[in-house]
Amino acid sequence: MEKKTWLSRAIGLSMCASVKYSARGPALIPRMKTKHRIYYIALFSVVLLGLIATGMFQFWPHSIESTADWSVERRSVHDSPLVHLPASSPIPERGDLSCRMHTCFDVYRCGYNPKNRIKVYIYPLRRYVDELGAPISSTGLSREYNELLSAISDSEFYTDDVSRACLFIPSIDVLNQNSLRIRETAQALAQLHRALLAGGGFSTWTYRQGYDVSIPVYSPLSAEVELPKKQPGPRPYFVLSSQTAVHMEYRAELEALKAENGEAVLILDKCTNLSEGVSPTRKRCYKGQVYDYPQTLQESTFCVVLRGARLGQAVLSDVLQAGCVPVIIADSYILPFSEVLDWKRASVVVPEDKLSEMYSILKSIPQRQVEEMQRQAHWFWEAYFSSMKAIALATLQIINDRIYPYAARSYEQWNDPSVVKWSRVNSPLFLPLIPPRSPGFTAVVLTYDRVESLFRVITEISKVPSLSKLLVVWNNQNKSPPEESLWPKITVPLKVVRTTENKLSNRFFPYDEIETEAVLAIDDDIIMLTSDELQFGYEVWREFPDRLVGYPGRLHLWDHEMSKWKYESEWTNEVSMVLTGAAFYHKYFNYLYTYKMPGDIKNWVDAHMNCEDIAMNFLVANITGKAPIKVTPRKKFKCPECTAIDGLSLDQTHMVERSECINKFASVFGMMPLKVVEHRADPVLYKDDFPEKLKSFPNIGSL
Amino acid sequence: MQAKKRYLILLSAGVCLSLLFYFGGLQVRATRRNPNRREDHSRNGLHSGPDQTWPHFSDHLQPFMPWDQLENEDYNVHISPKQKRDANASIYKGKRCRMESCFDFSICKKNGFKVYTYPQQKGEKISESYQNILSAIETSRFYTSDPSQACLFVLSLDTLDRDQLSPQYVHSLKTKVQNLHLWNNGRNHLIFNLYSGTWPDYTEDLGFDIGQAMLAKASIGTENFRPHFDVSIPLFSKDHPRTGGDRGYLKFNTIPPFRKYMLVFKGKRYLTGIGSDTRNALYHVHNAEDVVLLTTCKHGKDWQKHKDARCDKDNAEYDKYDYREMLHNATFCLAPRGRRLGSFRFLEALQAACVPVMLSNGWELPFSEVIDWNTAAVIGDERLLLQIPSTVRSIHQDKILALRQQTQFLWEAYFSSVEKIVLTTLEIIQDRIFKHISRNSLLWNSHPGALFALPQYSAYLGDFPFYYADLGIKPSTKFTAVIHAVTPLVSQSQPILKLLVAVSKSQYCAQIVVLWNCDKPLPAKHRWPPTSVPVIVIEGENKIMGSRFQPYDTILTDAVLSLDEDTVLSTTEVDFAFTVWQSFPERIVGYPARSHFWDSNKERWGYTSKWTNDYSMVLTGAAIYHRYYHYLYTNYLPASLKNMVDQLANCEDILMNFLVSAVTKLPPIKVTQKKQYKETMMGQSSRASRWADPDHFAQRQTCMNKFANWFGTMPLIHSQMRLDPVLFKDQVSILRKKYRDIERL
């Protein structure tokens, strides 16, 4: 009994089955004779449940053992063991429509694991025959089901250890209900009444949301036909209907649309007089004119996907492959992988009774959106429809996401095509927040041995009202910081951190001592910034907490002659960087700089003892997609008398090196993330004709 | 006897040995299997990768679907699709209701999504919460008082509390509902409910036949939830504000994002009966350090009777901690089910930016149809309670940072007031009815949220000001100027003509729209100066103030430069402002700014046009903003506010600033202007009288308070900065400056 509970969750995959039931089943049940009803129930259980395992275990208790070697030597389906189903073996009960993950899925078997990945076991293949020796399925193992199981067995989900698995997949092929003998298949799958089902044609009434997985109906054409890649854009036809088994009522409505809108609408049907040897699946006709299928789908912007006898239609796959936007006309159909895929970005859903309005509905969609949808449709096909492998892995990933929801793939991971993933920016500080003034900021002063200048800087900064703490990063290992009594007396806490190595990146380390969100990075020679300027900088940072807010601005330029980037520190009308010799930023970027800097940039900076500020600008611009904010007018920031000693910034070789940094970083990032702007932030009343003493920040820009 | 025993021992030893051998052999074989297979693979040059027992069969297998199957599937050709739909509609009722079978779409077609609330009956007692729900609908843009126009009906009978033991319980609801002549067996009706069932089983039955009505219900279980038909709403208390609502508690993002406690909970424990298991087991996980899970047995009068061995200890521990302190200082907050699936803890945690850890198996989470809860909560499994601490500890800092911010976004977008909860419910239903113009998941789950992003405006996300970064694109590089003209054209020196010329010279100007809101007929075409861009003159609808914010089809650019006819602007100023707007496309970027303040003497908001060190509005007589705000102004704001503006012919700019700040949660941006600008505006021009009029000023004050009242909160935010060109007034040759005209007077 215990075995039964833990084995009774497996996953069944059926592509063509469930629909038939939902299409006409329930309506008929009450009127049926009891005998038929049994069949129906049997069918239902297969359909809905697909499969499972307990049964097999009962029939062949030694199956684990027998798997051991035959897989190695015998690679033909015909060598798999034969199993006779006695006519009296039990038929499963109707599937439980109330099943959900928390009721019918044994989560203990999956448990907690560091990789957050489920383990999947596949039952070994058997050939089932009834008492008379007739097989229960006309196809046996189909090519597609074999591909699917092979893909799973090659994936990271697979385990050959039945005791470690939390998901079980039967090897009975129920992809296509038409080739199955329902009663016998049901017997083979007996007692699997809690299987979750991956099916190709769920309706809203048969789909157990959050439990079943709606999968696409695989189109075998995908493997056969390779369509040339086609860019999104206008196409010769506006709407195309390519299905052959369309109900006459719908066909009449489509024809009416064509009559009304002419050439833009193309309604194809099967060809009646094809010559021998031409596959009818590869041709469609309209009034005797023959079109190649599926190539012709690429000639249309929108392609109709109408329900047929079944809700799920293989044509959906063909349409997506052609980058044609599917127009889904199948009420109550649960679109493939709808649990994770955002179909609103790739398709248009039109209610069946609004078919006649389809044309005007489609016309109302802006062209740019149509192009987005074309791109999205093709991407869905590529990622989730193109092969049995893609279908299988997406299905397992969905189940995996449910079991480990906190490690689930995100909406963006599922839905964004790689182009978008590349160009979109998802700032980690995305909430529009203006932090309160009260916590203030922590000033981090990087110093080596310029004690006198350092003390002047400390004294200046300590006058800023919002300063909450001063952190001195003592980067000199050969010399101790001055005695405590020598330091300037200030009202806020002052901490000295001694580093173990003289590295520039020490200034961006996320020290625990930094308790505020806002960090002011400042060099030990920036003594000319006034208290008003610093306070104002902090106020501006509060309005832009996800940006670098700094004083001296710099620019990168494209040097056409040299075909590379160039660093510019002259008086320019534009800004793309602010120097971190004096800049406010969020502590989060310290963390990013220290632990998430791409490539070898961090080491490169430490080795060259230069460009840490450029690296920081790259990092922030790359992750936020935003330009820095330069505050207050240009002025000399260092003491006039210091320039002689510190000629570094003026040095020509220095400039060359900085240019090199930009080129190096751009190549590591794979693009140029810096954004150029033409504005800077000043106090509202800056330079206005207004009494200075009434201004909040009068002392701005004065030398 | 002895011999027998000995044989028995021997026999059992033998059995043991053979069993050992058997299993041991299996083991050996199992371990040997892998190298064998690997060899086999390398020999065949087949798959590398993990071990496989699934043999990649090399047979020529048949496809799963024969080529001709599709062709032969016309077997149902005789069943008309229409009949089939009708058949579905007739059998899928009650618990299997779906929009397809239980909702009449046809009545929504004519008038769009209009919601009718039944008139309140005399003598019917309605709880405050339900009153709030009704008034949220009645003040919304969806409301209609005419049932023949309605697409959705909401009862005036209080259905919120269906717990028979509750004092709020409304009796004989069944007959009352059946007597409503518009009831129509509940078709197109929406029923709100917070509590259903009662002790001991707490079923989800409402105690009356809801027919084909949709449920907007709290604590709804997946078994009873009818997907895409019902709406799961959060449980909210009777103190939940009607409009506006408090902002989230998150004021800043701390790094590292951990708070004092990792995981907390404080609440009742029921000891026995439905939903008690999880809370009873919490003490296993409690460690009194960073995982603090507290329960009390004290509830009801006779709790002592049922108390178990742990109660006294638990109760003592419970009293040691303050709930609010814990809430504000915890990274994760446990939200275990109570008697019912949902609990108040959920919304409390959300607002407190404490990431909720759901332990409520089978709860259909609030608005699950549209909200991606994995981005704002940790969905745990009651069965795996003991794993919860290690699960939350394994969540990476970056993820916590994101989860926390998302709680705040969701709280403010959909939960902070009754009105938001109701509007979200209505928007979800509207999205179902008009499927082809419904919102996608990105719109629902990113700032500013679905209530501010109306899909009827455009199906393309790039047409909105909010998603440029998400799509990796930029706004269009041109603007359309809209000049609001109210005085007849009499002389060629009128300011409007100068303005027209100055604006048309901007390199970013695509076209100029003159909105003729003057009583005099349109001037002849030749009266307008020749310009290099098209000038389109449209007559304002009813010549009302609000017409300047109409979403005219002629505006094709993302940016709109809104201008009063007497505005004085130079081409340089316009160019610079537009480059600034491109960096902030979701905000208003303008020149003259105004500020608001709280007048504590008069207990109301004050308005000031004095020169101040900060501002919270920029006048739309000269401002650039996204054209979507025209759509939002016209279609989102209620008629009451728009009428007020039109009647006063004033305050339109204040209302626009309120709207944009409510959406963005950010202040507008002021850019540099030439100094004489303000003087001109206050000076001799045609509007001078208006600006000098003290009534005008008083009106604006009144407007502000009216607007704040409707928004339920003061959306305006102050800014202390102005954006100037990089070299503005710097000590460098003017020739090096790009926007040099701004400095010249």
- The answer to whether residue B122 scores a pLDDT higher than 80 is yes
Residue A467 token pair: 């300063």
| Alpha carbons B332 and B402: distance in angstroms, whole number | 13
Chain B within 8 Å of A145 (Cβ-Cβ)? Answer: yes
| Alpha carbons B659 and A18: distance in angstroms, whole number | 49
| Structure confidence at residue A24 as a pLDDT band (50, 70, 90) | very low
Is B434 a member of any domain?
Answer: no
CB-based contact B340:B385 (threshold 8 Å): no
Name the domain boundary from B380, B410, B440: B410
Phi-psi region of B474 (alpha: psi -120 to 50; beta: other; left: phi over 0): beta
Which of the residues A109, A431, A542 would you substitute to probe the B interface, choosing the one with the greatest number of B C-beta atoms within 10 Å? Answer: A431
pLDDT of residue A666: 96
Tokens 């969100």 belong to residue: A517
CB-based contact B497:B512 (threshold 8 Å): no
Chain B within 8 Å of A703 (Cβ-Cβ)? Answer: no
Which chain A residue lies closest to B578 (C-alpha atoms)? A678
- The answer to whether residue A355 scores a pLDDT higher than 70 is yes
| Structure confidence at residue A2 as a pLDDT band (50, 70, 90) | very low
| Alpha carbons A496 and A469: distance in angstroms, whole number | 11
- The answer to whether residue B149 scores a pLDDT higher than 50 is yes
Q: Are residues B311 and B226 in the same domain?
A: no
Q: Which whole number is the average pLDDT over B707-717?
A: 95
Q: Are residues B294 and B391 in the same domain?
A: yes
How is A573-597 classified by DSSP, letter by letter?
S-BSEE-TTEEEEEHHHHHHHHH--
pLDDT of residue A637: 63
Which residues in chain B touch residue A588, judged by CB atoms under 8 angstroms apart?
253, 255, 401
% of chain A with per-residue pLDDT over 90: 54
Q: Which residues contact B253 (CB under 8 A, 6 or more apart)?
A: A429, A431, A433, A517, A545, A586, A588, B401, B404, B405
Name the domain boundary from B232, B250, B279: B232
Identify residue B26 by its one-letter amino acid code: L
- Does the distance separating the beta carbons of A677 and B579 come in below 8 Å? yes
Residue A160 token pair: 């050959």
pLDDT in tens, A626-659: 999 999 988 766 655 444 434 445 567 888 999 9
Identify residue A143 by its one-letter amino acid code: R
Q: Which whole number is the average pLDDT over A662-681?
A: 96
- The answer to whether residue A51 scores a pLDDT higher than 50 is no
Q: Are residues B556 and B659 in the same domain?
A: yes
Which chain A residue lies closest to B409 (C-alpha atoms)? A431
pLDDT of residue B743: 83
Is B267 a member of any domain?
Answer: yes
Total number of domains constituting chain B: 3
| Structure confidence at residue A14 as a pLDDT band (50, 70, 90) | low
pLDDT of residue A360: 94
Q: Are residues B605 and B713 in the same domain?
A: yes
| Alpha carbons B244 and B246: distance in angstroms, whole number | 7
Q: Are residues B228 and B310 in the same domain?
A: no
| Structure confidence at residue A71 as a pLDDT band (50, 70, 90) | very low
Q: Which whole number is the average pLDDT over B458-476?
A: 92
pLDDT in tens, B421-462: 999 999 999 999 998 889 999 999 999 999 999 999 999 999
- Does the distance separating the beta carbons of A348 and B76 come in below 8 Å? no
Please report the beta strands in A322-474, taking only residues with DSSP state E, as ranges in sequence order: 325-329, 348-349, 441-447, 467-474
- The answer to whether residue B11 scores a pLDDT higher than 70 is no
| Alpha carbons A474 and A524: distance in angstroms, whole number | 11
Is B137 a member of any domain?
Answer: yes
Q: Are residues B404 and B496 in the same domain?
A: no
Q: Round the average pLDDT of chain A to a whole number and report it.
A: 83
Which of A31-35, A65-69, A633-637, B305-309 is the least confident region? A31-35
CA atoms within 13 A of residue B76's CA, in its CB half-sphere = 23
Is B144 a member of any domain?
Answer: yes
Phi-psi region of B362 (alpha: psi -120 to 50; beta: other; left: phi over 0): left
Distance (Å) of CA A510 to CA A505, A515, A519: 10, 10, 10
**What is the phi/psi pair of residue A584, to 5°?**
-95, 145
- Does the distance separating the beta carbons of A153 and B253 come in below 8 Å? no
CATH fold of the domain at A441-681: Spore Coat Polysaccharide Biosynthesis Protein SpsA; Chain A (3.90.550)
CATH for B286: 3.40.50.2000
Q: Which whole number is the average pLDDT over A597-604?
A: 94
Is B577 a member of any domain?
Answer: yes
Which residues in chain A touch residue B47, judged by CB atoms under 8 angstroms apart?
154
Q: H or E stretch including B422?
A: helix B418-433
Chain B within 8 Å of A410 (Cβ-Cβ)? Answer: yes
Q: Which whole number is the average pLDDT over B309-326?
A: 93
Please report the beta strands in B60-124, taking only residues with DSSP state E, as ranges in sequence order: 115-117
Q: What part of A 488-547 touches B (C-beta under 8 Å)?
A: 510, 517, 536, 539-540, 543, 545
% of chain B with per-residue pLDDT over 90: 67
**What pTM was computed for the model?**
0.89
- The answer to whether residue A58 scores a pLDDT higher than 60 is no
More confident position, B679 or A510: A510
Distance (Å) of CA B217 to CA A121, A204, B160, B330, B703: 40, 20, 9, 29, 37
pLDDT of residue B690: 56
More confident position, A43 or A418: A418
- Please list, residue by residue across A425-451, b when 16 or more beta carbons sit within 10 angstroms of its beta carbon and e when fewer do: bbebbbbbbbbeeebbbbbbbbbeebb
| Alpha carbons B722 and B280: distance in angstroms, whole number | 58
- Does the distance separating the beta carbons of B470 and A426 come in below 8 Å? yes
pLDDT in tens, B481-527: 999 999 998 888 899 999 999 999 999 999 999 999 998 888 888 88
- Does the distance separating the beta carbons of B615 and A249 come in below 8 Å? no
pLDDT of residue A221: 85
CB-based contact B702:B596 (threshold 8 Å): no
Q: Which residues contact B71 (CB under 8 A, 6 or more apart)?
A: A244, A245, A270, A280
**Cα of A479 to nearest chain B Cα, Å:** 31
pLDDT of residue B611: 84
- Does the distance separating the beta carbons of B737 and A344 come in below 8 Å? no
Q: Are residues B202 and B161 in the same domain?
A: yes
- The answer to whether residue B60 scores a pLDDT higher than 70 is yes
- The answer to whether residue B52 scores a pLDDT higher than 60 is no
pLDDT of residue B676: 53
pLDDT of residue A73: 44
Which residues in chain B touch residue A99, judged by CB atoms under 8 angstroms apart?
none
- The answer to whether residue B471 scores a pLDDT higher than 50 is yes
More confident position, B303 or B503: B503
pLDDT in tens, A181-231: 777 777 777 644 455 667 777 888 889 888 899 999 998 888 888 889 888
CATH fold of the domain at A220-386: Rossmann fold (3.40.50)
Other beta carbons within 10 Å of B86:
12
Name the domain boundary from B383, B410, B437: B410
| Alpha carbons A607 and A439: distance in angstroms, whole number | 36
Q: Are residues B629 and B540 in the same domain?
A: yes
pLDDT of residue B113: 95
Nearest one of B228, B151, B156 to B192, comparing CA atoms: B156
Which of B175-184, B219-228, B471-480, B671-680 is the least confident region? B671-680
Q: Are residues B673 and B631 in the same domain?
A: yes
More confident position, A58 or A114: A114
Tokens 């908001």 belong to residue: B605
CA atoms A250, A254, A255, A259: torsion sign: positive
| Structure confidence at residue A93 as a pLDDT band (50, 70, 90) | low
Out of B70, B667, B729, the one facing A633 most closely (by C-beta) is B729
More confident position, A308 or B54: A308
Is B270 a member of any domain?
Answer: yes
Q: Are residues B89 and B144 in the same domain?
A: yes
Is B71 a member of any domain?
Answer: no
Which residues in chain A touch residue B578, judged by CB atoms under 8 angstroms apart?
none
Domain boundaries, chain A: 77-214, 220-386, 441-681
- The answer to whether residue A167 scores a pLDDT higher than 50 is yes
Return the top range by mean pLDDT from A142-146, A209-213, A254-258. A254-258
- The answer to whether residue B69 scores a pLDDT higher than 60 is no
pLDDT of residue A16: 42
Which residues in chain B touch residue A106, judged by CB atoms under 8 angstroms apart?
none
Q: Are residues B167 and B209 in the same domain?
A: yes
pLDDT of residue B12: 58
pLDDT of residue A30: 32
What is the span of the domain harbouring residue B159?
Answer: 82-232
CB-based contact A387:A223 (threshold 8 Å): yes
Residue B380 per-residue DSSP state: -
- Does the distance separating the beta carbons of B223 and A411 come in below 8 Å? no
pLDDT of residue B6: 63
Q: Are residues B544 and B688 in the same domain?
A: yes
